[in-house]
A and B are shown apart, each in its own frame.
Chain A
Amino acid sequence: MAHVEFEEEEFQTQFNGQTLRRILGQTRPHWKWVAGFLAAIAVVSFLDAYLTFLHKRLVDEGIMAHNPAALQSIVTQYGLLILVQAAAVFVMIYLTGILGERVRYDLRQKMFNHLQDLSLSYYSRTPVGWIMSRVTSDSDRVAELVTWGLLDSTWAALNIVSAAYFMLRINWQLALIVLAILPVLIWVAIQFRKRILAQFRNVRRLNSRVTGAYNENITGVRVVKALGREDANAAEFGGLTSEMYRSAYRAAWLSALFLPAVQIISAFALGGIAWYGGLQADLGLITVGGIQAFVSYVTFMLWPIQDMARVFSEMQHAIASGERMFSLIDAVPEVVDRPGAADPGTLAGDIEFENVDFYYEADKPVLRDFSLRVRAGEAIALVGPTGGGKSTIANLVCRFYEPSRGAIRIGGQDYTRLTLQAIQSRIGVVLQTPHLFSGAVRENIRYGRLDADDDEVEAAARLAGAHDFITTLPKGYDENVGEGGNLLSTGQKQLISLARAVLAKPDIFIMDEATSSVDTLTEALIQKGMEQLLSGRTSFVIAHRLSTIRRADRILVIEGGRIAEAGTHTELLRRRGHYYRLYTRQFRHQLEQAYDLNRMTGVAPA
């Protein structure tokens, strides 16, 4: 199954320095901000340590020395430094934050832009959800690492270094006691964070299963009740929540243990300071203020250590995010303009498939040795069972894919010698599952030709038979169609996407079951528009609507990647083969609709 490859690889065992460098490289365009916030961090962390030192001087030089003048000058100095520090904190938070937002912005835009270039084959093998999380959450995690992660770790490192400097200055023996404990603290902290993170990830995973279970039980509540599964389901669900409970509880008590554990270790340092410091003080080697400063340094050393542990344990996951993200950025589009590809300005002439082989996956050919010549202006109807290859033919004409072997010529020229833009901007495609974008009806139609004015939009809507229903909408052409157009019915969406294609005035027209959900009355309405649309244009119509099929110049029955039958409607009907069977079935359905039988018997419209 394809989805298996796309399971999130949660555990990244290898530390990939190259990826880390590439992640950090994302900040290069904004190096001034980086320099600015690093400078601000340096000021902040130095002042953090220095203020404690100043407090020591306040005690020693002011209080112990009974010197009010010194006290006053130190207090003044302290006050000024607080102001400086506040300013530095502002710069630090502002620049880090802005850099973070900017890197997020850059990454998202870079990925989005690249996605526009990727070929359809990339989309068919990559789930949309996978791409979405690269663009949203992975870019977040990477940006987080290069900003707040960088800030926290730099701050923590500088903080420890400056604290160590002042401690060494006050009393080097005592400082060594403290510094000896430091690595132990960091190691313990990292161990904790790792275990806690692992549990949290487990909780997240279980949480999505719990959500899935809710979803299924609510949407399937009718079956649950009908089959009397309430007790069994509740018991099963209880197993799931218990598993989640165990992980969450474990994560929680590990977190609860973390700070106390670090605190107790540092308490030994504190005890050491008291003991050894007391002895030294007795000898006059350390002052009261000095001891107090040590107590402060040790007490507040917890925070930088905690921050460092957090950054280090999360770094691996940010790197994993980075790798997934770069795999998207590095994906190479398969269908691209060849060197020297040209835009002839029009797409006129015959379309020719010459011994075309095509497969989406190797060993599973969809088309084999397929040849077909479509004269310019000819209307071709493609019919046949699902999976027979009809849509593949349409995809190849649009050059969403290129033939695996053989060639497709337009106007006698191999179409890979044209630019993609030249082909795709001149082919109008209307799909069975019409895709609209959230926004006004008008904007959706205008998507076909961006510089069309309102009158042209309306004219296209009329031709497509969409005008009447649009004017009944509360806001007419300005009505919002909702996310993915889902405030409209499928039939209405089909009409709008038809209007969109009409507006584009394409040279070649492709319709893939484009009006399947339009009711019979509207179908009759758009009949004329369709005729006008198709006249003089080469067109491929994949349809099950008989009126559309019958009108085609040539009908191809596609089965198993080959042309099973070809000819006009009457010829094929006469032959009593594949087409005959398809036709009678369809004819019956359509008459049932025409006579409104489905309404009388309550059949949902297909």
Chain B
Amino acid sequence: MSKSKTSQLNPDLSHAVSKNRLVGLWRLMGGYQFAYLGATLSLALAAGAKTATYLLLRHFVDRILGQGQTGLLPWVAAGFVGFAALEGAFTFLSGRQAAFTAEGVARRLRNYLFDHMQRLSFAYHAKTPTGDLIQRATSDVDALRRFFSEQAIGVGRIILLFLINFAALLSLHPILALISVIVVPFVILLSILFFRQVNKAYEAYQEQEAVLSTTLQENLSGVRVVKAFARQGYERAKFEDVNREKYSRGRRLLVMHALFWPISDLLCGAQMLGGFAFAASMALTGAISVGTYLAYAGLVVWLIWPMRMLGRLIVQTSTGLVSYERVREIIRQEREPLDEAGHTPTGDVRGAIQFERVCFEYDPKVPVLKDISFRCEPGQVVALLGATGSGKTSLVNLLPRFYEYTRGRVSLDGIELSHYPRRYLRRQIGIVEQEPFLFSRSIAENIAYGVGREVPQGEIEAAARAAAIHDAIAAFPEGYQTIVGEKGVTLSGGQKQRVAIARTLLKNPRILIMDDSTSAVDTETEAEIRAALEALMHNRTTFIIAHRIHSVMNADLILVLDKGQVVQQGRHARLLEQPGIYRQIFDIQTRIEVELEREIAGAAVELVED
């Protein structure tokens, strides 16, 4: 793909952010502006050709029929066909250019938003609901597409038709022309008012549609409850209420339409008839020729009737403008640079990490990490222990620069972390989460997801074997090509975790972050996962977010976190000697085992007593 083509598809749209919405929309069209102007120009030419058809009719009636110059007939006939062809050609051209612009702008915007969103910071994603982002990237982009392809051009079309035909009428007879448009401002006003109301009524209708869907959905997903309480009759009545409300809202919408169209018909019809009567009496007195009358009668149609639609387009245009604002909100967000850095490392990191009085907060007033200091050597295992909200996840999130620490210093192999490019850093770090996210594609693709190159099947299988998931995958009918997720098989929590381990093994990072939670998994798989994790940890600097003493006992360094601070650190044996959280946890776990023994022994005694 050539460079220019690439920039055409993936340009930088950040300049399309503008306070003035029309300016913003104009910039959003960057590169398509000429095409769009061409579309508008074509519209004018098409309108001109239509007008010319009626002028030709005038000529035809006055000269040929009136004066009997039948020799010109073939030329006139050809003229009709020719003008029609011109009109058709330009109409087509205009539609095509408008579509070219609208679809092109929409595609570019979709691509840009997609890329932009994945490069926005975590801080942004954490505070923005997914549904809202998707809504803006789909519905609002579509509204913008319609703005370019239908609304803006539609308004232009009606105005051009009016101007050109009005100019033609003026040239035929100025007074007649002025008399013929008396009703136009009223029609425009009426149609704007009407469509504004209709918009509201339509929203109310749509709201009820949503209520109806919810009621239906709740009934369907709660079918067991409905049946268990034998509440079918009650549910029918409930649905009927909702259904009837939708019916009556639909009816309200309908009455508005049923009134608007005949009323505007009447307005336009009266105007036409008045014009006809006036023009006809002029023709009677010979003030205008018969041909002029006929041309007038043809032209005036295009002056009046399209005005009824103007209101609709104008009302819709305003939704396009609102959509622009909503999309602009996303575009104006700063991206997180991936490659910008003060230090360009060559080769892999070793994995020596040092935290010096590191502080971090999401919100300036609420500290999340306070004065964290520790160091670890390449290949060591660091375990983090602490309650929910104690800062374990926030601490490891600093390593791949998902978030930036706000004070203190983190160094990796002696160089400050913020000097490393994010892309490089993330390539060096592997993460295995508690509930790993898999993509709805094949298992093979999921395993090879993080590598960024073609991976031979053998390598994928080797990684799967090491992660103790190969057998499970092979048992699926489609093996490694099995699609994961909604449209395919649902993997259990343990299977997902092992696929994620295989994914990380293949990526082969120098630093590893993992969550040891296997609470949802039964005992056999727990052992398998444990073995797989050990294979993964081998020879890498590892951070474990630990949930039980069992998995921290062998760590080279245990950090006990409480409310964002390291309250204890050291090895297992040393921490046991100190009073503190660590010993408390250890004691409780020991006590649980003792009580378990006692309980079972007790049951045995009870039986004897029986």
Contact = CB atoms under 8 A, between A and B. Distances in A.
Interface of A: 1, 3, 55, 58-59, 62-64, 66, 68, 71, 75, 78-79, 82-83, 85-87, 89-90, 93-94, 97-98, 100-102, 104-105, 108-109, 112-113, 115-117, 120, 123, 128, 131-132, 135-136, 207, 210-230, 232-234, 237-238, 241-242, 244-245, 248-249, 252-253, 255-257, 259-261, 263-264, 266-268, 270-272, 274-275, 278-279, 281-282, 288, 291-292, 295-296, 398, 400, 420-421, 424-425, 427-429, 431, 435, 437-438, 447-448, 450, 483-484, 497, 500, 504, 569-571, 573-574, 580, 584-585, 587-588, 591-592, 595, 597-604, 606
B449 A229 contact: yes
Interface string B80-97: 110111011101101110
Q: Which of B138, B234, B294 has the most CB of A within 10 A?
A: B294
Given A85-B265, A600-B585, A275 B76 contact: yes
Nearest to A585: B523
Contacts of A248: 99, 103, 106
A292 B299 CA distance: 12
Given A71-B284, A115-B219, A278-B70, A229 B227 contact: no
Nearest to B492: A386
A74 B133 CA distance: 62
Given A82-B273, A270-B81, A271-B80, A101 B247 contact: yes
B411 to A, nearest CB: 21
Interface in B525-578: 545-548
Interface in B493-545: 503, 507, 517, 519-520, 523, 545
Interface string B90-133: 01101110111011101100110011011100100100001001
A116 B262 contact: no
Contact of B547 (A100, A278, A603): A603
The SS class assigned to the B binding surface is helix
19 contacts: A83-B266, A113-B236, A132-B220, A136-B209, A207-B138, A214-B134, A230-B338, A234-B10, A241-B111, A245-B106, A252-B99, A264-B88, A274-B73, A282-B65, A574-B607, A600-B386, A600-B584, A600-B585, A604-B388
B437 A220 contact: yes
Interface in B414-458: 423, 426-427, 429-431, 433-434, 436-437, 439-440, 449-450, 452
B216 interface: yes
Contact of B134 (A218, A252, A255, A588): A218
A93 B77 contact: no
Contact of A228 (B134, B254, B450): B450
Given A225-B118, A230-B119, A595-B591, A601 B547 contact: yes
Given A104-B250, A570-B606, A260 B218 contact: no
The SS class assigned to the A binding surface is helix
B254 A93 contact: yes
B397 to A, nearest CB: 9
A291 B60 CA distance: 10
Contacts of B61: 288, 291-292
Contacts of B18: none
B82 to A, nearest CB: 9
B202 interface: no
Closest 9 CB pairs of A and B: A256-B95, A267-B84, A260-B88, A227-B450, A252-B99, A97-B254, A429-B228, A435-B222, A275-B77
Contacts of B385: 601
B607 A570 contact: yes
Contacts of B297: 55, 292
A107 to B, nearest CB: 10
A568 B433 CA distance: 41
Contact of B225 (A108, A260, A282, A431): A431
B224 A120 contact: yes
B213 interface: yes
A597 B81 contact: no
A230 B60 contact: no
Contacts of A55: 276, 297
Contacts of A438: 214, 218
Contacts of B234: 447, 450
A224 B402 CA distance: 12
B85 A213 contact: no
